[in-house]
């Protein structure tokens, strides 16, 4: 697959497919793609980590994810990995119909 010929949603989906394997240490929350003026993709990945990981472990995973994205999208102008520390990596986000907002009566 020539990733350079894909549009932003296709790049996002390809990156998400590669990164979204089962992991004990992290969970991919979001993959976003943007384009520079020079038509080069920028890939942004948000990753959750449990609070008990030490910084060195988080840094290793962040570098590994960035390297995998750069392999998949070699023409990327920038790859940015945003770690979110303290989120439960195995908890499924609730469906929107189960979210309850407190009233301010």
Confidence of residue 98 (pLDDT cuts 50, 70, 90): low
At 5 the pLDDT is 44
Fold exhibited by the domain 3-98: Alpha-Beta Plaits (3.30.70)
Which of 3-12, 20-29, 78-87 is modeled with the greatest confidence? 78-87
Average pLDDT over the chain reads: 77
CA distance 80 to 64: 12
Contact criterion met (CB below 8 Å) for 50 and 58: no
pLDDT tops 70 at residue 99: no
Report how far apart, in Å, the C-alpha atoms of 26 and of each of 7, 20, 42, 58, 98 are.
27, 10, 22, 9, 24
CA distance 73 to 56: 26
Contacts 24+ apart (CB under 8 A), 94-98: none
Percent of the chain with pLDDT over 90: 8
């Amino acid at each position: 697959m020539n990733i350079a010929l894909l549009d932003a949603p296709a790049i996002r989906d390809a990156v998400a497919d590669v990164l979204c394997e089962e992991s004990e240490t992290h969970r991919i929350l979001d993959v976003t793609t943007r384009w520079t003026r020079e038509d080069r993709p920028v890939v942004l990945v948000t990753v959750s980590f449990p609070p008990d990981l030490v910084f060195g472990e988080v840094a290793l995973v962040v570098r590994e994810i960035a390297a995998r994205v750069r392999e998949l999208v070699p023409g990327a102008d920038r790859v940015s990995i945003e770690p979110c520390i303290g989120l439960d990596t195995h908890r499924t986000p609730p469906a929107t119909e189960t979210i309850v907002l407190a009233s301010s009566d």
